[in-house]
Structure formats: C-alpha cells, structure tokens
Amino acid sequence: MSLKTDGLRHDEEDSSPLRRTSRRNTTRRERVAPNIGHVAAAAGVSRATVSRVMNGSPTVAPELAARVRAAAEALNYQPSRLARSLALGRTSVVSLIVPDLSNPMFQDILRGLSQAAAAQGHRLLVAESNENIQEEKILALEARRHSDGLVLASPRVPEEELLTLSEQLAPVVLLNREVPGSNLPSLSVDYAAGIRAIVTHLLSLGHRHLVYLAGPVASASNQERVAALRAASVATPGFTLTEIPCGSMFEDGHAAARAVLATKATAVVAFNDMVAFGTLSGLHELGVAVPDDISITGFDDIPFARYTTPPLTTASIPKNELGKQAWDRLWALMNGESPGHNVHFQPRLLIRESTGPAPTRHA
C-alpha cells in the first residue's frame, strides 16, 4: 500500500489553511494560522524544504525556494515561534526580575537590557517581585522556563538559597549582588566606595553627626552601605552615626522626616534618591531648609535628581550600562562562553545643592 504524503498529516484534502472546527456547540469553517504543512502543500514540496527556505539554508534550488517563498507570502505564513523553540531548545527570550518596577533605577536597567537584547534579536520578559523573597524565587524559576536566561536585579533572596537556585536558573547574571565564593557572574556597584565619597564630602563640609536612612533589610547593597558608614564612623573621631530603618521608596523617606529632625543630625545620607526626595519633601513641609538647616544626599542619580529643589547631591551609577553589560554577560553564557570577570562600577559623586556647610549651632 502506497502512502500518500502530501505534506499535510491530518488535514483535509485542500491546502488552504481552513479548518473544520467544532467547539462549544458551533461548527463552522474558520481561518486558522497557516502552518508549515500548508505552505509545503501549496508549494508542492516537503515540509523540510519549507523549513530550509524559511531559515535561509543555501542548499535549496533557487527555483524551489522561490516557489516556497511565494506560497508563504500568499498564505501570509509565519513560522510558529513556539514550535520552533521547542524543536530548537531555545526561545530567544530572556527575563529580568526586579524588586520594584516603580524604582527609576530598575527602569533604567530594564531599558538598557531591553535595548541590548533587542539588538540581537531577543525579547525581554519582565517580572516584579515586590521586594518579596518568596515571590522572587517563584518568579525567577517561572520566568526562566519561558526564556533562555535570566537577569536578577538586586535579588533579595538569601545567599545560600540564591546559590542553590542559581543552578536551575543558569544561565543567570546578577546585578547589584555578589555571591562570594560562587562563580555567578555579577555586575555590581561599589556602594561602599560611593558611601565613602559621600561621607568624605560631608565631613569636609563640617558635618559630624550623620543620620542614615536605611534601605530594605534584605537588600545586599544596603548592607554594604551600612558597613561602609559604620567603618567611617569608627575611623573618624567625633563622628556620630545614627541609623533609622526606612525603605527604598519616596513615601519611606517622606515618613522619616520627623525622625530625622529628632536626631539633631546635620546631614542625612539616604539609601537612594527616591528616599532622599521623600525626605526633602517631608522636611520642606516641616519648614526645614535644605541645605541651610540640614544637608541631604541620595544614591543612584536617577533622571530627576538634577531637577529637585534643591538639586540632589548624589552618587551616580551607570544604570543603563548595568543593563547593557548584563546582556553581554548573559549572551556570553548562553553561547557557552566565559562571561568575563565580575566588575564593580565605581559611583561618581555629584555635588549639587542639597549639601552645604554644617550649620554652626549657637553661633
């Protein structure tokens, strides 16, 4: 018995992408996305040949290739990404997990990554963990299974778990987080150096009592900042450091304004620019002048930092660059290459107008 193979395995006789559908209680002919079989049938070739043509294989006779292209064109055929991904074992999608999409810092990373990935034909899946550790783990796992690789921005997951997770997540690159003793590629900012620059600046202005508005406790970069601050306070005679648990968002800083005042500190070092803005705004409402009564510094240099009143003194970090380089690293990993050495971006201190000489009390 001769097997008639016309390129269509289970469809009706003609090659047009119509299908007899019966779902619910309706039976009707509806137009359905054409598949490789339809094109093959229309062009009178095998599906393998269509596949070759669609992928630009040079081993197809020009005449055939033309016929296939014409058929594909006529049917408005687009190969299914899904099927292609399954067969190929890759999706051309990478994922980014961030703690908080409303943070301009992560928005910039998102943008940098998205553009770099797009430039090499990859798409970006985004997920927000809402600073929630459990969710972060689930999301990362989930996202990874939709994509070929992962970028974790400022992951809050504890070190050991991150280490375990990373095996299932690989290829993965970390942003703003290093796992010492692991070989997880990571791009980070030297927060300690940034803090040291800020402290030096403040000390030179005569400030001796600083208050630190701390970020999320689970934030590794917060811990770095705290450590640098404490080290400085220990190393400098007459330097008083007060720490106030705060957060990472505008509202957190805003809510902390009174507490800041209560410390009698002459300068506040905020976890990041958002917090600094909040505090700035809160202090303004309380009638406190910045920098005359109190100085404020931020961290990140988000786009609006230059336009606040007064413009914010802050430590600038290359957010876009983080995104772009994250892509480079990930791309290397996905191609089985070495991701290169980890790097520590050095923040640049931008002295603007939110910092000034320490007020001389009782003068």
Partner DNA sequence: TTGAAAGCGCTAACAC
Partner DNA sequence: GTGTTAGCGCTTTCAA
> Could you tell me how far CA 218 lies from the centroid of its own chain?
17
DSSP assignments along 304-316, one per residue? GGGGSSSPPBEEE
Could you give the angle at the alpha carbon of 309 between the alpha carbons of 233 and 283, nearest 5°?
Answer: 60
**Does residue 313 bind a second copy (CB under 8 A)?**
no
Q: Which of 19, 81, 230, 258 binds a second copy (CB under 8 A)?
A: 81
**Does residue 82 bind a second copy (CB under 8 A)?**
yes
Q: What Cα–Cα distance (Å) separates residue 272 from each residue in 64, 92, 213?
A: 61, 34, 9
**Does residue 289 bind a second copy (CB under 8 A)?**
no
**Does residue 74 bind a second copy (CB under 8 A)?**
no
Q: Which token pair is 214?
A: 């701390």
Phi/psi for 142 (5° steps) reads -60, -50
Q: Which of 18, 93, 261, 334 binds a second copy (CB under 8 A)?
A: 93
Q: Which of 86, 101, 141, 234 binds DNA (CB under 7 A)?
A: 86
Rounded least distance, CB 291 to a second copy, Å: 15
Tokens 């095998």 found at = 46
Sign of CA dihedral 195, 345, 111, 126: negative
Piece of 43-51, 53-61, 85-93, 292-300 that binds a second copy (CB under 8 A): 85-93
Q: Which of 16, 44, 64, 123 binds a second copy (CB under 8 A)?
A: 123
Q: Which of 15, 41, 42, 47 binds DNA (CB under 7 A)?
A: 47
> How many Å apart are CA 363 and CA 358, to the nearest integer?
12
> How many Å apart are CA 282 and CA 288, to the nearest integer?
9
Q: Which of 115, 223, 236, 240 binds a second copy (CB under 8 A)?
A: 115
> How many Å apart are CA 207 and CA 359, to the nearest integer?
8
By beta-carbon proximity to DNA, the closer residue of 31 and 341 is: 31
User: Which partner from the list DNA, a second copy, none does 344 bind, CB cut-off 5 to 8 Å by kind?
Assistant: none
> How many Å apart are CA 110 and CA 320, to the nearest integer?
8
> Which residue type sits at 175?
L
Eight-class DSSP state of 300: B
Rounded least distance, CB 347 to DNA, Å: 44
User: Which partner from the list a second copy, DNA, none does 93 bind, CB cut-off 5 to 8 Å by kind?
Assistant: a second copy
**Does residue 54 bind DNA (CB under 7 A)?**
yes
User: Which partner from the list DNA, a second copy, none does 124 bind, CB cut-off 5 to 8 Å by kind?
Assistant: a second copy
- Interface residues toward DNA, by CB under 7 A: 3, 5, 7, 9-10, 32-33, 35-37, 44-49, 51-52, 54-55, 59-61, 63-65, 77-80, 82-84, 86-89
